[in-house]
Amino acid sequence: MAIEAAIENRMVFRKTNAAAGRHISVTPGNSTNRHLSYGRIILSPHHSSVAFQNAGQETGFIILSGSATVTVDGTAHQLGQYDGIYIPRDSSVAVDSTGVDIAEFSSDVAERYPLQVAQYSEVSRNGSLSFKAGGSTSERHVNIVLGKNVDAGRLVAGFTLVEPGNWASWPPHEHGAMLEEMYVYFNMPDPTFAIQMVYNDTEYPELVTVVRDGDAVLMPSGYHPNVTVPGHRMCFLWAMAAIREKEDRQFGVVNVQPGFNTGGSGLEASRK
C-alpha cells in the first residue's frame, strides 16, 4: 500500500484549479515527468495580472474560459476560449484579465522556436486538428490546439470532449518511448466524475483512480484509457512532451494494446 501511495503521489495531482493567480502544480521535480510541467493561471477583478520569465522552457497556453491579453516581449495578443499560444523559451510574459482560466504547459528545450498564436476558430475548421474519433461507446471530439500547426520543440497540447458514459483514449494505446503525457480534467462540475487507468498489464495496473474537475493524471508509460459516468460529459486537456526534442514531436503515432488493435487507433485523422 505504501508503494502504491508513493506512485499515486507522483502521478495524480488533485484540484489544480483551486488557487488564484499563477500556480504551477506539476514539474519534473515533483512528479514522474522528465520534461513536462503544468500550471494554471486564474485571474479575476481581485487578481487581474501576472508576469513571469520562462527561461529555458517553451510554454503553451490554452484558454479554458474567459479571455485575456497575453503580452510576450512587449507584443500583446488577445485570446478567447480554447485559443492557444506558443511562447518561445527566454521570453518575458504578462497576462492581464478580469476573468480567465488558462492551462499552462511548459518543457525544457535547447532551441528557440517562434511565437505562434493558434486561434480555435481556425483549429476547429481543420479536419486534421479537430475531429471525431472512436465508435458508438468511445466517440469523442479531439481538438489539437498546439500540434503540427505550431513549430515547437517538445510540446503538443489540446483537449478532448467525451459524451456521457463513453470511453476515451480507446482503443488503449501507448507512446511512452516517444512522448510523455498528462491529462487535466476541466469543466466537470459536481457530481461529475470519471475513472482513469494507467497500466502496462491489466492484471497489475499502475493506477486506477476516480478523477474530478481540476485533477491532473500523469502517464509516464503504458496504456491510459478513461471513462465517464452516464449522464455526465468528460472534458480533459492533454499535453505531451517529446522525449527527443523535435524528432519525437509527433501526434497520433501510438502502439495499440494487443487484442484491441483490430480497427486502428482512432487518431488516423490527425495524420492527414
**pLDDT-derived band at 266, boundaries 50, 70, 90:** confident
CA distances from 42 to 15, 16, 17, 125 (A): 13, 11, 8, 28
Residue 267 lies in a domain: no
pLDDT for 2 beyond 60: no
Region 227-245: mean pLDDT is 97
**Contact criterion met (CB below 8 Å) for 41 and 100:** yes
1-15, 33-47, 111-125, 165-179: range with lowest mean pLDDT: 1-15
- Say what percent of the chain tops pLDDT 70: 97
- pLDDT score of 1: 46
Tell whether the torsion through CA atoms of 258, 272, 138 and 11 is positive or negative: positive
CATH number at residue 168: 2.60.120.10
**Per-residue cell: 175:** 507512446
- pLDDT score of 126: 97
Tell me the whole-structure pTM to 2 decimals.
0.95
Torsion of CA 86, 90, 94, 100, to 10 degrees: 30
Rg (CA), the chain: 18
pLDDT for 51 beyond 50: yes
pLDDT for 53 beyond 60: yes
Structural domain total, the chain: 1
pLDDT for 7 beyond 70: no
Residue for grid cell 493567480: 21
Closest CA to 242 of 143, 122, 148: 148
pLDDT for 5 beyond 60: no
**Per-residue cell: 20:** 488564484
Residue for grid cell 469543466: 187
User: What does pLDDT average to over the chain?
Assistant: 95
Phi, psi of 215 (to 5 degrees): -80, 145
Tell whether the torsion through CA atoms of 136, 137, 143 and 149 is positive or negative: negative
The single-letter code of the amino acid at 39 is G
Structural domain harbouring 242: 2-246
Region 68-89: mean pLDDT is 98
Residue for grid cell 535547447: 110
Residue 268 lies in a domain: no
- pLDDT score of 268: 84
Residue 253 lies in a domain: no
pLDDT for 6 beyond 70: no
Residue 263 lies in a domain: no
